[in-house]
Structures are given as structure tokens and as C-alpha cells.
Chains A and B, each alone.
Chain A
Amino acid sequence: MYEIRLHGRGGQGAVMASGILAAGLVAAGKHAVAIPSFGFERRGAPVVAYLRTDDKEIRRMTNITEPDCLICIDPTIANSVNIFAGLKPGGTLVQATVKSLAELKLPATVGTVGLCNAVKIAMEIFRRPITNTLMLGAFARTTGVVELEALKQALRDSEFRDAGLEQNLTALQRGYDETEVHRIERRVAA
């Protein structure tokens, strides 16, 4: 079982991204369950979505408190939410940011980091800071948990059509191509 927690803000499409990612994983023959967090979500407020994937049926319909991976589609959300809570040691962070690795404050649990300047790319593609599909490309690049092609297929099977579909396919590809992946070597704490 591989567990992912997506962090974003209302209106950026974190919940939708979790659905597309689940569809991509299922298209690749895996099981996936995506559950959004619940509340009065409104534009700009912190939003969380959970996603589990496994080769076998997933039975538990619960939130995720100890994720293997964090996908953070908003550059500033870490200022208002402790996105790293419960991250498994050696876990992965896929972060939308303009910053370099050295500029990020990361806890010792983070083992792999994928960085994507997603807002800049989104403004070029959509003229709006919609980073969700971009960050799915970044996730595919960073972890290899899902093939880029499976995500593209999930987008084609979704309700995206015509120009919107083309823009999002471009966003997936550019998110994949323009993500820097860093492995952080750490001594295991005694």
C-alpha cells in the first residue's frame, strides 16, 4: 500500500487531482481509493485530499495520517498547515515552488524531493495559477508510482474536452519534464 496526501487551497483542484491520479493508477491496473477531507471548503482555504494505491483491493475508507508521499500543489500552504505531519521516514515531498532545495526547510523525515515551478508554468499554459495537473506530472517524475501515459489516458477519459484537455495534457507533460528530483542522504538517527 502506498499512501499520498495532497495539500492545496480551495479552487486549485487538489480533490480533482486526486481523482485523476486514482483514475491513472486504475488505468495502469492498480487499485486506488481517493477521499477528500471534509468541511466548508472555500476558495483559498487549505484543502487536503487522500489517496491510497495498492496491487490488491483497498478496504479501509479512512483518512491518511502517515503518508509515504506529500503532493503540495500550492507554494505557500506550508506556512499555514504542518504538511509534514506523520510523513513516513524517507518519505517523498513533491512541491510546487520557485525555491531551490537549499531554500526549503525540510524535516528529517523527507528523503526525496521533487520541485516544480508550477505557478510559473501554469501562468504560461492557463494564464491562471492552476497547478493540479502539473503537479501530477511532477509526482510521476519524482516517484515513478504512476506512468505519465496512464495519467494522460485518465485525462482523456475525464470530462476535459478540446482546448481544456490539450492544455492539461501539456501541463502534465511540462510538470513531468520540468521537475528537479533530489535524493537527500541522511544518517539514520540513533
Chain B
Amino acid sequence: MSTATLERSATKPRYIVCEGNEAAALAVALARPDMVSVYPITPQSSLVEHVAKLVADGRLDADIVDAEGEHSVLSVLQGASLAGGRTYTATCGPGLAFMFEPYFRTSGMRLPIVMTIVTRDGITPQSVWGGHQDAMTVREVGWIQIYCESVQEVLDTTIMAFKIAEHHDVMLPVNICVDGNYLSYGSARVEVPEQAAVDAFMGVKNVNWHAALDPLRPMGVDPLTGGAGGKGPSAFVRYRKGQCQGMQNALRVITEVHEEYARCFGRSYAPLVEQYRMEDAAIALMTIGSMTGAAKDAVDEARQAGTRVGIIKIKTFSPFPIDALVAALGKVEAIGVVDRSVAFRWNCGPMYQETLGALYRLGRHVPAASFIGGLAGADMTVEHFHRVIRDTEALRHGRLSAGPIWLNEND
């Protein structure tokens, strides 16, 4: 439901109440994309309905294309992006799966498309509910992926996403990951920035400077490269290496854009890795997305009871913020990594798996346990996080779990 209007009279209140999907749509309108393409039926969310309504009401001056499927949605935006447009779409779960081929191409062609993933668990065992399995499944395709904790953060991060994607040192597509159900349909108090302030923050649009669909200056885009002969191998390596470098550059740019956003709008978020009550922490929980709020409440209660526990929240998951994570780990003696999806190959959560890689860089052994919860819409409550704290404290004292700990196993 909507309780918001973007333009309001002189009595405009400071805050509105809206769901995460509407917050994302309002942010998209403020960022002024030229083209939005959507596949507006199942599996979709109210997000694109909100965007379509903003276009219909004349509050977003963008062309909106109802494509015949998600594969076409992203292909349409590739054309729009190559023609110099700022572009946006949203999808989730099966829709994301259906757009996989152009999804891979988008990052390879260095197109700064912004796409919200209203995250869902996998479709089987039959489920239409939230989880991170869809976004995590495509974590290795060269898109930047940023997870949000609150409805306000969805709005703010969606605006920032366009600036991050289009930065000339990055030029990569960005997924803003919004936890399905809990954030997408959760309504909360939100402050909506003024259009003029967002315009000033975004600066002059310069999306397409490196490749262009322009009849006046014809050029080949995404030519055949690779193979074992001629300049193929070196050309392919140059493109692929550039992509990897763009991902690494993104770590700096994401940080800078968050700093600039804080200066412009007064709201600041840890861009890569948030440290919560980590000053003297002996153990740390690692969280991602909207679960973090309940984890913070649990940590406050545990601190009251004398447990030296903090939280390391990953906001930017791709590129994986190795240095920021290593810095955050400091002197902790055990970590409990809480995922909302699974890594089938390793029998653990994907964030846990990535963290094991970062621990190698830390250069000392830290016992770590994988916790998996919130699958297929399951609730992750303060009580669940108290269990994570207890088990991680036990891990610190040498009690190691054989496999992942499934938080909703008995719910």
C-alpha cells in the first residue's frame, strides 16, 4: 500500500511511511532514469508497480517498456544503456534465472544498469518467500551486489547505486538486494530527499562515453575475442582483467559515494562492512541484510549480560570487501557467520565460505561457524541470534560444530 506522494504542498511532512518496494521506486524516480524495462507479472513484486505508477503520474519522466520476459527486459536495457541512457529494472528468483544470459553480458559489456533484486529463496522445494538464494547464486557474474538493512537504507542506497555504477572507474551493473517480504513489504518511517538535492548529488549524467550506439559515430560493440590465435587471447585478457579491476575500483568508489551521500543528506552507512559494538569484542557475529536489526538487539542484551560480542555486517557482498573484513576482525577469537542461503558445494552459507577465504589473509587462525536461517521466508528473531551468540561463545572455548547450524530447524 502507499501512504506517500512525492510532490506535496507546503505542509510536506518530514517523514513518510512506505514499504521497501515503494522506497526503492521513489529512489529510482529521484535518480531520473531514462528507461525502465519490466516484466510485470509473477514473479514480480509491487516494486515495478510503484515505478509504473510514478511514470503514469508524471513524476518520473522515463520510458517504460513492458517486455515479454525477463531475458528481454535486460536486453532492452542493454540497448538503452549503449545509447547513453540511465537504466533500471527489478526482478527476483525465477525472473533473475530467466535473464541469466543477458545478466552475464551486462557486466562484460560494462553497462551501468541498476537492478533491484527483491531477494527470494530458490523455487524448489516450492517456495515464493524471501531468502538470499537467488542473489547469492549469481554472486560470481561480475555485478556489484549491495544488501540493505532497513527501508530507509533501501531508498538511500538505490540512489547511490546509479552513481556507483556510472562512475568511470567502475562502469559495472549494480544489484541492490532488498530482502523479500521483510524489507520489500515491511513499512517503516522514511525520509525522502528533495529532488534538487538529489540532482546536485548525481551531477551531470555521462553514462555512455566508452561505447555507443550512435549512427554518427559507428563502432563495433562486444566484438568476438578470445580463442587461441592472433590477438584473441590478449584482447580477451584485457577485457576480463579490466572487469576485475573495475570490481576492485568499486570498493573505493562505493566508499566515496557513501561519504558524499552522508555529506549531502546527513545519513551515513558503513559502505562495505559495518562494525557494531566491536571495540573490545571477543566474538563477532557476521550478518547481512535485514536480519541485522534483530542481531543488534540481541547483541545489546548480551552485552548487558556481560558477553563481549559485536557484529560485523557485510553491506557490499560483491566485490567481497576482503581488506575491510580483515580490519574488522581485529582481535576476535571466534566468529559466527549467519547466512540466509546455502552454498551447496561446501555445506555452509555462502558468506561463511567467502569469509574463510578472507581469514587466510588475516594470517591467524580464528574458529568460525556457519549458521543458516531465514530460508524461504522464515523469521530470524532476537532469540535466534541469542543462540548464535551462545554457540559462538562456545566455539571460542573450543566446542566446534561438525556442520552448519540450521537456525529454523525446529521452528
**Cβ-neighbour of B185 out of A31, A38, A158 (below 8 A):** A38
B381 touches A22 (CB 8 A): no
The reply to whether B293 and A158 contact each other, CB–CB distance below 8 Å, is no
- Please encode chain B, from 126 to 161, with 1 for each CB lying within 8 Å of some chain A CB and 0 for all others: 001110000000000000000000100000000000
CB distance from A190 to the nearest CB of B (A): 28
Check B17 against A26 for contact (C-beta < 8 Å): yes
**Closest chain A residue to B185 by CB distance?**
A36
B294 within 8 A of A: yes
Residues A26 and B189 in contact, CB atoms below 8 Å apart? yes
Contact partner of B381 (CB less than 8 A), chosen from A58, A62, A154, is A62
Closest 5 CB pairs of A and B: A59-B293, A60-B294, A23-B17, A34-B187, A23-B3
- In the bound complex, residues from chain A placing their C-beta under 8 Å from that of B346 are none
Chain B residues whose C-beta falls within 8 Å of the C-beta of A61 in the assembled complex: 150, 179, 182-183, 186, 290-291, 293-294
Chain B residues, Cβ within 8 Å of A36: 185
Q: Which of B378-411 contact A (CB under 8 A)?
A: 379-382
The interface residues of chain B lying within 8 Å CB-to-CB of A166 are none
B360 close to A (CB within 8 Å): no
* Residue numbers in A under 8 Å from B282 (CB-CB): none
Within A1-55, which residues are at the interface with B (CB < 8 Å)? 15-16, 18-20, 22-23, 26-27, 31-36, 38, 40
**Shortest distance between the CB of A65 and any CB in chain B (Å):** 8
Given contacts A19-B3, A27-B13, A38-B129, contact A33 B188 (CB under 8 A): yes
Which residues of the other chain, A, contact B179 by a CB distance below 8 angstroms?
Answer: 61
The complex places the Cα of A63 from the Cα of B382 at a distance, in Å, of 11
Distance, CA A33 to CA B23, complexed state (A): 14
> Which B residues touch A22, using CB under 8 A?
3, 17, 187-189
Partner of A19, one of B1, B290, B293: B1
Our count of residue pairs bridging A and B at CB distance below 8 angstroms stands at 91
In this assembly, does A185 line the interface, its C-beta being within 8 Å of a C-beta of chain B?
no
Q: Is A162 an interface residue (CB 8 A)?
A: no
Inter-chain CA distance A18–B185, complex, in Å, is: 12
**A30 CB to nearest chain B CB (Å):** 8
A20–B3 alpha-carbon span in the complex (Å): 7
Which chain A positions have C-beta within 8 A of B377? 38
Q: Which B residue sits closest to A20, measured CB to CB?
A: B3
- Contact bitstring B343-385, A, C-beta under 8 A = 1, else 0: 0000000000000000000000000000000000101111000
Given contacts A18-B187, A38-B181, A158-B2, 13 further A-B pairs with CB under 8 A are A20-B3, A27-B13, A31-B189, A32-B187, A32-B189, A33-B188, A35-B182, A38-B377, A59-B293, A59-B297, A60-B294, A60-B297, A62-B382
For B150-194 the 0/1 string (1 means CB < 8 A from A) is 100000000000000000000000000001011101111100000
On chain A, which size bracket covers the interface?
A: 20 to 34
Interface presence of B236 (CB below 8 A):
no
Contacts of A15 in B (CB 8 A): 1
Rounded to whole angstroms, the CA-CA distance of A23 and B188 in the bound complex is: 8
Indicate whether B277 reaches chain A with its CB closer than 8 angstroms.
Answer: no
Q: Considering the chains assembled together, what is the distance between the CA atoms of A34 and B293 in angstroms? A: 14
CB of A103 within 8 Å of the partner chain:
no
The residue among A15, A40, A58, A59 with the most chain B CB atoms within 10 A of its own CB is A59
Contact yes or no, B186 A34, CB < 8 A: yes
Contact B13 A157 (CB under 8 A): yes
Residues of B within 8 A of A158 (CB): 1-3
What chain B residues lie within 8 Å of A58 (beta carbons)? 188, 293
Q: Is the CB of B17 within 8 A of A35?
A: no
Establish whether residues A62 and B379, one from each chain, have CB atoms under 8 Å apart when the complex forms.
yes
Q: How far is the CB of A123 from chain B (nearest CB, A)?
A: 23
Contact: A157 with B3, CB < 8 Å? yes
Please measure, in the bound complex, the distance between the C-alpha atom of A114 and the C-alpha atom of B279, giving whole angstroms. 48
Contacts of B98 in A (CB 8 A): none
Answer yes or no: B296 CB below 8 A from chain A CBs.
yes
Contacts of B186 in A (CB 8 A): 33-35, 61
| B15 lies within 8 A of chain A by Cβ | yes
A60 and B3 form a contact (CB under 8 A): no
With a cutoff of 8 Å between Cβ atoms, the chain A residues found around residue B16 in the complex are 23, 26, 157
Residues of B within 8 A of A65 (CB): 381
Q: Which residues on A sit within 8 Å (CB–CB) of B290? A: 61
B197 CB to closest chain A CB, in angstroms?
21
| Cβ-neighbour of B17 out of A19, A62, A159 (below 8 A) | A19
Residues of chain B lying within 8 A (CB to CB) of residue A159: 1-3
A38 proximity list for chain B (CB < 8 A): 129-130, 181, 185, 377
Q: Is B187's CB under 8 angstroms from A33's CB?
A: yes
A32 pairs with B17, CB closer than 8 A:
yes
Residues of A within 8 A of B382 (CB): 60, 62
The residues of B that contact A34 with a CB separation of less than 8 Å are 17, 186-188
| Nearest-CB residue, chain A, relative to B290 | A61
Q: Which residues of A contact B183 (CB under 8 A)?
A: 61
A–B Cβ pairs within 8 angstroms, 8 of them:
A22-B17, A35-B181, A58-B188, A58-B293, A60-B294, A62-B294, A62-B379, A62-B382
CB distance from B201 to the nearest CB of A (A): 24
Residue of B nearest to A30 (CB): B189
Complex-state Cα separation, A22 to B188, whole angstroms: 7
Residues of A within 8 A of B293 (CB): 58-62
CB contact list, A64-102 vs B, under 8 A? 65
Bound state CA distance, A18 and B182, in angstroms?
14
| A35 and B129 alpha carbons, distance in the complex (Å) | 14
